[in-house]
Amino acid sequence: MALSIRRLRDDFGAEISGVDLTRPIDDAVFAAIRDAFDEYSVLVFPDQKFDDESQIAFSRRFGPLETTISTNSGGGTHIADISNVDPKTNEIIPVDGWLSKYNSGNEMWHTDSSFKPVPALASLLSGREVPPVGAETEFASMRIAYDDLSAAEQDRLEGLVAVHDFSYSRGLVDPKLMDEKQSAAVPPVRQAVVRTNPANGRKAFYSGSHAREIVGWPVEEGRALLKDLVARAVKPERVYTHKWRQFDLVIWDNRCILHRGRPWDKSRHRRVMHRTTVAGDVPTVPDQ
């Protein structure tokens, strides 16, 4: 069966059908998927009945996987479990508990692992159980928004370096969420503000909730710029809202895509989502 690719919007995103990713796929099919990833930035694959093992096997085709810093790691270290269900008890976790708050950090616009020295290439999120209402995931393209900047605005960003800091962003949820030991495990890192996709030369700016300040700039000024970049990318008309169906797999390019989870009735509806994260290969700045 041939791959069928349908655009989700004019500017980014595609839905791909005609392939079962839970089984081994041949190199030509994977090459087409990898090309589509560089081209469309967000790929939706309906009806992929993954378990953790098959999700990890498919994800590895993109490259080595990150190990998660997550705390709800029912599925093992390559699976980031962002569910509101405790895998040990199979019960919904308390909505006002630590883990629920921690996971709600995903409701700010961000790009995965920008707080790591080498940030993630791709995330693959599998919807195992999805609520009937709410809990959409929204996506916005920092590549499309970069293209829309004036030449002067683009020039101003060139060569800038930002500090990304997980304790900063989780501190926005609750200043006491992370204790000293947890913060020490994720020290701030430096990331380029402009990134280029080596496969096609397309540039994107790179910001999000973890971006704290610009190196060498007054903190508030740098933060204002980083927030303004996010605001430009996530204008409502530029956002793709993914309404989950059970067994959707969504893959996004963390080099150029911002995403956020939307709230839902967390005390009432189960949401079981397992993410694999493909590591990046090089730092975005030489002196990282």
Q: Where on the chain is the footprint of ligand OGA (CB under 6 A)?
A: 82, 106, 112, 123, 125, 137, 259, 261, 273, 275
Q: HSE, CB side, 13 Å, CA atoms: give it for residue 202.
A: 21
Nearer residue to ligand OGA within complex by CB, 137 or 284? 137
Neighbouring-strand partners of residue 261: 137
- Choose the one of Mn ion, ligand OGA, none that binds residue 275, judging by a C-beta under 5 to 8 angstroms depending on kind: ligand OGA
| Residue of 9, 4, 3, 14 whose CA lies nearest to 252 | 14
- Choose the one of Mn ion, ligand OGA, none that binds residue 79, judging by a C-beta under 5 to 8 angstroms depending on kind: none
Closest approach, Cβ 106 to ligand OGA, in A, equals 4
- Choose the one of Mn ion, ligand OGA, none that binds residue 233, judging by a C-beta under 5 to 8 angstroms depending on kind: none
The Cα 215–Cα 235 span in angstroms is 26
Closest approach, Cβ 90 to ligand OGA, in A, equals 19
Nearer residue to ligand OGA within complex by CB, 56 or 160? 56
203-219: b (≥16 Cβ within 10 Å) or e: bbbbbbbbbbbbeebee
Task: Confirm or reject binding of residue 136 to Mn ion (CB under 5 A).
Answer: no
In the sheet that 189-192 helps form, which strands lie side by side, from edge to edge?
A: 189-192, 161-164, 211-214
Closest approach, Cβ 261 to ligand OGA, in A, equals 3
Task: Confirm or reject binding of residue 15 to Mn ion (CB under 5 A).
Answer: no
- Choose the one of ligand OGA, Mn ion, none that binds residue 273, judging by a C-beta under 5 to 8 angstroms depending on kind: ligand OGA
Closest approach, Cβ 131 to ligand OGA, in A, equals 11
Closest approach, Cβ 18 to ligand OGA, in A, equals 25
- Which two three-digit tokens encode residue 185? 């495990």
Nearer residue to Mn ion within complex by CB, 157 or 257? 257
- Which two three-digit tokens encode residue 9? 């919007």
The Cα 233–Cα 244 span in angstroms is 22
Nearer residue to ligand OGA within complex by CB, 135 or 204? 135
- Choose the one of ligand OGA, Mn ion, none that binds residue 82, judging by a C-beta under 5 to 8 angstroms depending on kind: ligand OGA
Closest approach, Cβ 123 to ligand OGA, in A, equals 5
Rg of the chain on CA atoms, in Å: 18
Closest approach, Cβ 144 to ligand OGA, in A, equals 20
Query: How many CB atoms are located within 10 Å of the residue 80 CB?
Result: 24
Beta strand segments in 2-121, E? 4-7, 14-17, 42-45, 80-81, 85-86, 91-92
Q: Assess contact for 21 and 58: CB atoms under 8 A.
A: yes
Task: Confirm or reject binding of residue 112 to Mn ion (CB under 5 A).
Answer: yes
In the complex, the residues that contact Mn ion under the rule CB under 5 A are 112
